[in-house]
Amino acid sequence: MIDIQQKNAPEATPGSLITQDGQIQWAGVLFGPGTPYQVDMKGVTGWDDLPELETGDVARPDQHGAWPGARWAKPRTVSATVWLLPPGREEARGTMRGFRAATTPDGGERWLAVRLHGETLACRARVSRRVVPQDRSYVLQGAAKAEVQWVATDPRRFGTREQRATARLPLPEDGLRWADDPGAGGLAWPLDWGTAGSTGAVTAVNAGEAAAHPVLEFRGPLRRPALTRLADGLRLQYDIALAAGDVLTVDTHSGTVVLNGTASRLYTATPRSAPEQLFRLEPGATALVFRSADTTPSPEASVTVRWRDAHW
């Protein structure tokens, strides 16, 4: 029997319950092989499909064709046919209630994860449709061929593992150390080149084929933090002083800038700062540089870039 209370439990890592191909994880419930919720032979539809595209093409008034415009993907619709197959008549009620509790339309988006050919991807979605025929098999044994549909407002699918990269502000190197004995002259062998200084550079690798929106965490002490994308010079910069222990979190997908998880600091963006939603990690490696307005940088100051590999 499925524990119907798990719907209200804290959301785990997407796909954490999946152990084999063909399984679907949603709202803490597993569908597919080894569960009372078997996926029909038709499988899942809309998962690997390219979402419908909204185009900004403008028709040419004086010749064939159109001027190409921007293209944006519409929400992704995912459907699955699931067989409710309780082990016995006694478990029919628990199987039914577990399925019903997992597929309610209440609440916000949750992780929907699917594993195919050893690859587990996930998207944020909501249940938009549930059909459970009350035929003879369902009434007598609890077996039914149900239909479930999800809608993901962000059509991208993401890797289940969150990636991280951290950079610290540039720090000077110690340099060569002279011999302790002034009479010896020159340098002492072996040469001590000192501790390597930080360069403030970091590389974020998006292993997917779609652009990913990272979350940035600036940690103090530092003043006027900035992160620049070297490929095109696009920069996020904020006119704010962070004390030791302060964290300024920038969510480039939602466009929010929050201090210590509570107070909005979006208004601190400088005139040279780009709109947050434009700061994306394109497929492949993206070189980033961390800087601040500190005359003497603190070795404790840092920026952490968090993202998930994004896929169409």
Element housing 141 (H / E): helix 136-141
pLDDT digits (tens, 9 = 90+) for 58-72: 999 989 999 998 888
Spatial separation of the C-alpha atoms in residues 34 and 82, rounded to whole Å: 13
Please check the confidence at residue 192 and state whether its pLDDT lies above 70.
no
* Bond into 221 cis (ω within 30): yes
**pLDDT value of position 9:** 41
HSE, CB side, 13 Å, CA atoms: give it for residue 92.
11
CA angle 72–267–213, rounded 5-degree value:
30
Spatial separation of the C-alpha atoms in residues 253 and 234, rounded to whole Å: 16
> Phi then psi for 100, rounded to 5 degrees?
-65, -40
Q: What is residue 310's DSSP assignment? A: E
Residue 269: count other Cβ atoms within 10 Å of its Cβ. 18
Put the strands of the sheet holding 215-219 in their side by side order: 163-168, 302-307, 215-219, 247-251, 256-259, 263-264
Confidence of residue 28 (pLDDT cuts 50, 70, 90): confident
Kindly list the distances between the CA atom of residue 71 and the CA atoms of 108, 204, 305, in Å, as whole numbers in the listed order: 27, 25, 27
| Residue type present at position 56 | G
Q: What topology does CATH give the domain 163-176+189-311?
A: Jelly Rolls (2.60.120)
pLDDT digits (tens, 9 = 90+) for 194-214: 545 568 899 999 999 999 999
Spatial separation of the C-alpha atoms in residues 80 and 261, rounded to whole Å: 37
Please check the confidence at residue 7 and state whether its pLDDT lies above 50.
no
Please check the confidence at residue 167 and state whether its pLDDT lies above 60.
yes
Please check the confidence at residue 8 and state whether its pLDDT lies above 50.
no
Q: Which of 26-35, 248-257, 284-293 has the lowest mean pLDDT?
A: 26-35
For the whole model, what pTM was predicted? 0.83
**pLDDT value of position 182:** 53
Domain boundaries, the chain: 4-55+71-159, 163-176+189-311
**pLDDT value of position 100:** 84
Q: What is the 3-state secondary structure (H, E, C) of 53-107?
A: EEECCEECCCCCCEECCCEEECCEEEEEEEEECCCCHHHHHHHHHHHHHHCCCCC
Beta bridge partners, 26, equal 29, 112
* pLDDT average, residue stretch 14-24: 93
Confidence of residue 1 (pLDDT cuts 50, 70, 90): very low
**Mean pLDDT, all residues of the chain:** 87
* Bond into 36 cis (ω within 30): no
CA dihedral over 124, 127, 128, 132, signed as positive or negative: positive
Assign domain 4-55+71-159 one CATH number from 2.40.30.200, 3.40.50.2300, 3.10.20.30, 3.40.50.150: 2.40.30.200
* pLDDT average, residue stretch 126-137: 86
